[in-house]
Amino acid sequence: MKALVEYFKDKGIIFRKLEKVDLKKLGVKKRMSFFKGVDTKGNYWAIFLIQRKSRILQKDAKDLQALLQSLPFDHAFKKKVLLLQAPICSKAKALLEEEGWLVDAFV
């Protein structure tokens, strides 16, 4: 979590509240981390962190969008971020960016 906070701090984004949500309790079996945060301006952030060796394809991008829509929160996320430690298909990246996602590598 400290590396995540440092990553956003370097980008000039400070969170008032940042918490990790356990996706397994919500019935999601995918191996990824999900963080929910509120920045100093009051915007809600959905941050997905994916670490895997295989490439992220368009199917995975569509599944990620559907997963975000199905999460049981009483607010909408203004900012959506996908941080990757995996290769990504250029079409999947373009699809996510069209939908307003920020896609970036996370070291």
Encode pLDDT of 45-66 as tens digits.
999 999 999 999 999 999 999 9
How high is the pLDDT of residue 102? 96
For residue 92, being part of any structural domain is answered with no
Domain that holds residue 61: 2-85+100-105
| 90 is a domain residue | no
Instruction: Give the Cα separation of 56 and 44 in Å (integer).
Output: 25
Largest CA distance in the chain: 36
Residue whose pair of structure tokens reads 């918490």 in the numeric block: 19
pTM listed for this prediction: 0.91
* Residue 75 maps to a domain: yes
Strand partners, 50: 84
Strand partners, 49: 33, 83
Q: How many domains does the chain have?
A: 1
Beta carbons within 8 Å of 42's beta carbon, 6+ residues apart? none
Residue position matching structure tokens 């919500």? 26
pLDDT < 70 positions in the chain: none
CA distance 12 to 14: 7
Question: Residue 27: its pLDDT value, please?
Answer: 82
Residue 93 counted as domain residue: no
